[in-house]
Structure 1
Amino acid sequence: MSRVRSGPRSGFVSAMTTRLPSTGAPERVAAAPSTTCRSDEVVVIHRLFRRLFAEAPSLVRGVAPDDTAHARRVAKHLHAVIALLHVHHRTEDEFFWDVMTDRAPACGLHVELMRRQHGAVSDRLDVADALVDRWAYRADARTAVRIATALEEIDRMLVEHLVDEEREAFPVLDAILSDAEWDHIHKHAQRHKPPMPIFVLLGLMIDSVPEADRAAWIANELPAPIRFAYRTVGRRQYERAIGRIRSNDRGALGGAGAAGLEPAMA
């Protein structure tokens, strides 16, 4: 769980008054209490990871053999994405599963599933990370194929896990964790320095919000100073960084990072 906050109840992802749709799980049968709807904040992070890992294999395939300069840029991004997911899962492991076991013992099977899925994804991440490290300074086609295949497997596993977590764990966590406990978890997460520039991370997060919801999300979740800083400085940083890894310095970036975001960021 990675989050930046500028006040006790505001930041990149603050508490939501209505439940967001999940990133793939079926609609929940019963809504959680309105006072503890805090798992919605994690759904935003899940959307980010689904997007990052869905596009990761194509980033590797977009690097021409022997183009080590481009490979190093993509490798740096992939290392950051992998590190981000490791931190997110470690935070969930530390703060979610033991509490569920203690306060909702009937959910033991769900807790065991979450732990098992986290472990399996972590193992695959470590394999992919080592391959990326080897490929970064060689840009050889054989290793690129292995990386892309490993990332596709991680994406498949992650999509399955996120659906299970949102469907099976989040309603329980909403019921058993207080706002004070959610705030403590977020304060803990803030101690981890993001593995990529903060405006790049913010731009990726904005892009991961469905277009129909994006303007409202920006207005509700980003304090005015952050909106101003992103519009005047951060967006260019994001476009430049993402353009370099996606298209070898030549591509244009569409979506929230480009001009379509201007009205929402005003």
Structure 2
Amino acid sequence: MATRLSSTGAPDGAPTTTCRSDEVVVIHRLFRRLYADAPRAVRSVPTGDRVRAGHVSKHLHGITALLHVHHRTEDRYFWDTMTDRAPACGIHASLMREQHRAVSDLLDEIDVLVDRWASDADAVSRERVAQSLDEVERLLLVHLADEERDAFPVLDDVLSDAEWDDIHRAAKRHRPPMPIFVLIGFMLETVPPAERDAWFATQMPAPIRLAYRAVGRRQYERAVGRLFPTPPGRLGSAHALA
């Protein structure tokens, strides 16, 4: 159990909690992966190939929507509570909000640029999309590191397990803006190989595990094949599940 840090300014006697932010770090690994790959996926589309551009643009709209949902959930449940219960850390909460706004504005711009590019797959629009995605990745790497270092230890300290459960239930009410098996496949890619089977067994309900093995894995492979016709060597490691 994690005990409250005396420097947080949290009230005495509040309940202890486990390090539940570790569950969010799994999502952060997913976003690091998705946004590292996205510019390369765009630049790999030949000029004029509207079919490939269409596949990639659909994927990009999915990952921008996914990041919007993630940040809105954090904005709703994290920062006011963090400021109220750990006033000394209010500066960190303010920074998280500011970083979210910067990323959100850029994601909105990317959605517009993606639609323009997908219409004719021209080289100029392709590079504008790729450069904007490069900037999102740059901002995201800074933000996620700041959040994990400065915010998550405090949130673990001030949120109870029951409150974490409420947050996860609220997050699950959002329908994923990407095919669920494709999303699971990308998540599995980010889990260290030695931990993958255990993570899959504990984090996915049995019906989802069975469906992924039966049909979902092939759906993920097809999606990756459309994004990267010549996939990098690391792809496919998620398919080693028992």
Gaps of 5+ in 2: 3-14
Structure 1 residue 255 corresponds to structure 2 residue 224: no
3-state SS in 1 of match to 2:181:
helix
SS at match of 2:212: helix
AA matched with 1:84? L
**Pairs within 5 Å for 1:169-180:** 169-180=151-162
User: Once superposed, which parts of structure 1, at least 4 consecutive aligned residues long, lie more than 4 Å away?
Assistant: 250-253
Q: Distance in 1 between matches of 2:155 and 2:163?
A: 11
Match of residue 69 from structure 1: 51
- Could you tell me which amino acid in structure 1 is paired with residue 218 of structure 2? R
Aligned to 1:9: none
CA-based RMSD of the aligned residues comes to: 1.9
Cα distance in 1 for partners of 2:17, 2:86 equals 19
Conserved 8 A contact 1:244-1:251 = no
- What SS class does the counterpart of residue 177 from structure 2 fall into? coil
Tell me which residue corresponds to 1:81. 63
Structure 2 residue 143 is the aligned partner of structure 1 residue 153 = no
Trace 1:120-159 onto structure 2 (pairs within 5 A).
Answer: 120-159=102-141
Please give the alpha-carbon distance, in whole angstroms, between the structure 1 residues aligned to 2:167 and 2:236. 31
Greater helix proportion:
2
Q: Hey, what does 2:88 align to over in structure 1?
A: 106
Displacement, 1:252?
8.8
Structure 1 spans left out of the alignment, 5+ residues? 1-16, 19-32
Query: Superposed, which structure 2 residues align to 1:196-235 within 5 Å?
Result: 196-235=178-217
- Match for residue 189 of structure 1 among 151, 171, 174: 171
What TM-score do you get using the length of structure 2 for normalisation?
0.89
Give the 3-state SS of the residue equivalent to 1:137 in structure 2: helix
C-alpha separation between the residues in 2 aligned to 1:205 and 1:178? 26
In the aligned structure 2, how far is the partner of 1:226 from the partner of 1:188? 20
Distance 1:179 1:154, change over 3 A: same
Q: Could you tell me how far 1:223 is from its partner in structure 2?
A: 3.1
Shift of 1:219: 2.8
Deviation at 1:215, TM superposition (A): 2.5
In structure 2, the residue matched to 1:54 is 36
Tell me the distance in 2 between the aligned counterparts of 1:240 and 1:104. 47
Q: Deviations over 1:216-257 (max 9, x none)?
A: 32233223332221111110111111211222xx76983334
TM-score, normalised by the number of residues in structure 1: 0.81
Q: What letter is aligned with 2:153? A: P
